[in-house]
Amino acid sequence: MAKAYVLIRAEAGKVGSAVEGIRRLPNVTAADAVTGPYDVIAILEAPDFDALGKSVVDGVQKVDGIYRTLTCLGVEL
């Protein structure tokens, strides 16, 4: 199972609706508004890294109000 933490910047006034939109997407296990340099952090899990990438590009990045993402892949140590 592939896992990613997606750090998200949202447009002013759209954080709440962005979180709601992200939570409805497949492969999203959590999405929360946060303080600091990013507005939302989402956790995604998918069967493999290709599916994970598609979830970010075709899902998260298309949610209204999102203008920048940074994806951090989880690794097993």
**Residue 37: DSSP 8-state:** S
3-state secondary structure of 16: helix
**AA letter at 17:** S
Fold of 2-67: Alpha-Beta Plaits (3.30.70)
Convert the pLDDT of each residue in 36-51 to its tens digit: 999 999 999 999 999 9
pLDDT at 31: 98
pLDDT at 17: 98
pLDDT at 39: 98
Residues of the chain with confidence (pLDDT) below 50? none
